[in-house]
Amino acid sequence: MEFAGEITDPVHRSIRFSEVEKEVIDSPAFQRLRRIRQLAGAHLIYPSAQHSRFEHSLGAMHIAGLAGETLLGKGYIDHAEAVQDLRLAALLHDIGHGPFSHLFEEVLEYRCNTTHEEMGRRIITQTEIADILDRHGHSADQICQLSFGQPKVNFMNEIISGGLSADIMDYLPRDGLFTGAEYAKVDYHRLTSSLEVSRNRLAINRSALNSLESMLISRYEMFKAVYFHKTVRSAEVMLLHSMIAADEALGLTDTSLDNYLGLTDEATLERLCALDSSGKYAFAGKMARDYRDRRLLKSVYEKFLHKRDKQKMDRKALQATAARIADAAGVDRNHVFVDASRAHSMPLTPSKEEMYSVLVVDKDRVYEMPVSEIPLVESISGFFDMLRVYTTAENRQKVERSVKKVLGEQETLYMGAGKLGR
């Protein structure tokens, strides 16, 4: 593959790019990712977490290239153009994210039942990106299949998303670097050089199992320390409720590409903050302004659940519980928020199922190893869910007392809202 230039990167040092990649990177739709932070509101707690979807996408492209070169060298891929397709798919895998990244996806799911992957397909196939790809002999549809699932060759898709993906191998060390967390060390060189293919699935050499174990534990620790941090989620809860309440006025979930491609973090926040301080959208405006000025909600209750309870609690149930707590406390219902954050403790496969096993190559033998048999990983397998109750600073004591009455010390709740899909 011929490269047209290189970019200096704090995680990978140097990221080279080809001519088609350069043109995609320079397109307005891709440049928009510079204005969408990777970790939404985490910079209010970790001040250096200002990195964006733009540099993460470059990093994912770089690692996908390393993986592709490994598979090309081992004969699993028979031509260099397949490596270029992999790199393009990784480069574009987050092109459909809206403002505040995964947080806006909660708004999309709640208001119009769509995802950033669906928006990504439309952006790749209906903008100038399709013309760029076609001009260089690449199919926009094929790139979409690799980026978002349903590829003809299954193991190729696993390089983009899943437990051995370029996505996770970039975002963990990148998020760790910019938050200052010390958990997110990933030996991605060892992992990508150890990739194999068996049964049309991505596999790993047994010698790299320790590196895989370390990465899975790092991901788990980052969820607990950063992604599910109570104050990080406080900021996100404020933005989430502000965007949902203001959607009718601002048309945030208008999924026409002209509107969607204009939605970025600061542009959306500015529109939210400009809402009148009285009237129908006063609540949405206040939440946004308090977020901007870092007057964040306070957590008065939290329960960590590692195993999934049978009782389902969807968004309506969360809202009903918040109303009961507010009524018991004698405070405005708009001042109490019940939030349920949930995640799989193992990464999801391209088919959106939890990674339960990994194919292992040990000399001439290939076998499927449950991830629970990897040392230390068994203790974190399953789900981890976090139920929290937030309120404003002035209502903190009242709500804290009422939570105990409404929820009870022994109550456990299943969480079906507030997903953070990483």
C-alpha–C-alpha distance, residues 355 and 358, integer Å: 8
What residues are paired with 6 via a beta bridge? 16
Overall average pLDDT of the 367-380 stretch: 82
Give the pLDDT of residue 249. 95
What is the DSSP secondary-structure string of 212-249?
HHHHHHHHHHHIIIIIT-HHHHHHHHHHHHHHHHHHHH
pLDDT of 333 > 60? The answer is yes
For residue 224, CA distances in Å to 48, 55, 95, 311, 416 come to 19, 24, 27, 23, 18
> Pairing state of beta strands 201-205 and 357-362?
parallel
pLDDT of 419 > 60? The answer is no
Q: Is 160 helix (H, G, I), strand (E, B) or coil?
A: coil
* Out of 140-154, 217-231, 326-340, least confident range: 140-154
Residues counted in the chain? 422
pLDDT of 188 > 80? The answer is yes
C-alpha–C-alpha distance, residues 336 and 301, integer Å: 11
- Contact (Cβ atoms closer than 8 angstroms) between residue 92 and residue 147: yes
Q: In what helix (H) or strand (E) does residue 134 lie, and over which residues does it extend?
A: helix 128-135
Ramachandran category for residue 298: left, alpha or beta (phi over 0 → left; psi -120 to 50 → alpha): beta
Considering only the C-alpha atoms of the chain, give the largest distance between any 2 of them, rounded to a whole number of Å: 71
pLDDT in tens, 256-275: 999 999 999 999 999 999 99
Give the pLDDT of residue 119. 97
Domains and CATH numbers, the chain: 5-221 (1.10.3210.10), 297-345+382-422 (3.30.70)
pLDDT of 280 > 50? The answer is yes
- Percent of the chain having pLDDT more than 90? 75
**Residue 380: alpha-carbon gap to chain centroid:** 19
pLDDT of 219 > 60? The answer is yes
* Out of 81-90, 240-249, 305-314, 315-324, least confident range: 305-314
Model pTM above 0.85: yes
Q: Give the tokens for residue 416.
A: 């079906």
pLDDT in tens, 302-318: 987 655 554 456 778 88
